[in-house]
Amino acid sequence: GGFANVWHGSYDERDVALKELQIYEQDDLKAICRVFYREVLVWKFLRHPNVLPFVGINESISRFCMISPWATNGNITQYLKQDCMCDRTKLLQDAAAGLSYLHTLGIVHGDLKSANILINFRGEACLADFGLATFIHNVNTIAAFASTTGGIRGSVRWMAPERMDPEGAGYVSSQPTKASDIYSFGITMLTLGQVFTGVIPFHNSRNDAAVIAAVLSGKRPSRPPQPQAEEVGLSSSVWALIERCWDQDPRKRPIIASV
């Protein structure tokens, strides 16, 4: 990702992914470590079939290197391109179940998008990288970290408007919330149809600034063409749900349990 290096490795005779966060500012390293290990500790105790399991930390590479199972099928977009006949709706139901589990525990994902929905060896969708956006937000006062990672900027196309302009929405910060997760899930649901069209959200916008301007003005991605989109699960009822999820007003979005 934009704020981490990822390697394929082996641990205890199984394939694993090693994700090293890119930390460039050393002045407040102890404070960053406290935030990081707090987030990792939460992940360690999570148990759900649709949440990527925690394996450990590899301090020989970096004190900010996390280990998780290797997703042999890649993320949901990569998987759907390989297996166009799979049940897309079931995969999104998997993702919704994982998000519901996190929200029930009071955990906000913060960076929900297609790249962070991985497909395990059983063909099930698992949420990954939850908590990293919160981690980034909590250390965002360190200018070098905020300016070099580009982590949040890289997810602008999935980002809720109130995170782009907190003051305009009546918020005091851009910290992710359950409601912003729901917005991102709505954008991610377009995966059903956009695998067919081969485009990303706001594909007509050439840069993040254009996306931000569009989202803050209330614009959203257009509906993928019919009947092909409906054939892969993007029905009128699903589209109606997507529109509820990405409502400009966070208070009007559904909770994940009702999705």
Give the residue numbers marked as catalytic: 111
3-state secondary structure of 197: helix
Spatial separation of the C-alpha atoms in residues 213 and 222, rounded to whole Å: 16
Cα dihedral sign, 23-29-31-36: positive
Spatial separation of the C-alpha atoms in residues 74 and 146, rounded to whole Å: 28
Q: Are 81 and 53 in contact (CB under 8 A)?
A: no
Identify the bridge partners of residue 67 per DSSP, sorted by sequence position: 18, 56
Judge if the upstream peptide bond of residue 227 is cis by omega within 30 degrees of 0.
Answer: yes
How many CA within 13 A on the CB side of residue 93? 6
Tokens of residue 46, six digits: 């999570």
Helix (H) or strand (E) holding 57: strand 56-57
For residue 41, give every residue at least 6 positions away whose Cβ sits within 8 Å of its Cβ, in sequence order, or none.
none
Spatial separation of the C-alpha atoms in residues 236 and 53, rounded to whole Å: 34
For residue 235, give every residue at least 6 positions away whose Cβ sits within 8 Å of its Cβ, in sequence order, or none.
none
